[in-house]
Amino acid sequence: MTELRLVEQQVALMQPAKIHTPGGIVDCEVQLISRQGARLRLLGQLQGSAQFFLAFRGFGQLSCRLKQTDGDCIEVTFSGDAESRDAIFQDIIDRFGDEEGRRRFLRRSVLWPGQLVAQGKKLSCTILNMSLGGAKIVLSDEAGVSGSVTLEGARFEGLQATVEWRSGRLLGLQFDQDPAQVARVLGSLLPAIKASA
């Protein structure tokens, strides 16, 4: 049986932070961050501690475990429950990340024909990009679409969504289903889904 694994985007952050160890505090720069961990560039000497805390200005401390060392850079994995890691990560991205970084999942540019079912009407559209979280589409004709919709395409089954924003014929949709369900519907169409044996 094929297992689907969601791969989340790593965000280039380039923000100063501090590593708190039993032996003292070491300055560092957070180069990349994800919900699972981060890549840090050390600005001082880290004294052999496998577990420590990473602190951003204005945030609490994240419990970390050293994964690997590469010169003056280290990779760490975050400890704690997934819900807490998710909340902290989202707060960090909301404060420091750019618009692309705030998106949870990788997006793939596509040019696929589709249909948007809204208020009982089927509207022709072109799907411009997709992720496990949503899609950006352009309608063939101007239409005042809002609220709950269904996005249909020749390559996938219908996906329930909510219109998050609209600019003329351009619409931003957020999928209502859990990302794992969207992954099952989209199969191998997006790079954010990997199949492993």
CATH of the domain at 191: 2.40.10.220
Number of domain units in the chain: 2
The percent of residues in the chain predicted with pLDDT above 70, rounded, is 79
Question: Does residue 162 have a pLDDT over 90?
Answer: yes
Pick from 79, 102, 125: which residue ends a domain?
A: 102
Question: Does residue 189 have a pLDDT over 80?
Answer: no
pLDDT category of residue 194 using cuts at 50, 70 and 90: very low
- The pLDDT of residue 106: 64
Residues 90 and 31 both lie in one domain: yes
Residues 36 and 97 both lie in one domain: yes
The DSSP line for the chain is -PEEEE-BPPEEEEEEEEEEETTEEEEEEEEEE-SSEEEEEESS---S-SEEEEE-TTS-EEEEEEEEEETTEEEEEE-S-HHHHHHHHHHHHHHH--HHHH-SB--EEEEEEEEEEETTEEEEEEEEEE-SSEEEEEESS-----SEEEEEETTEEEEEEEEEEEETTEEEEEESS-HHHHHHHHTTSSTTEEEE-
| Most confident segment among 24-33, 45-54, 79-88 | 24-33
Mean per-residue pLDDT for 79-107?
A: 65
Residues 7 and 97 both lie in one domain: yes
Pick from 102, 131, 153: which residue ends a domain?
A: 102
pLDDT category of residue 157 using cuts at 50, 70 and 90: confident
The model scores a pTM over 0.85: no
Domain that holds residue 129: 108-196
Pick from 102, 117, 133: which residue ends a domain?
A: 102
Residues 91 and 182 both lie in one domain: no
More confident of the two residues 109 and 24: 24
Residues 189 and 141 both lie in one domain: yes
Residues 84 and 116 both lie in one domain: no
Mean pLDDT of the chain: 79
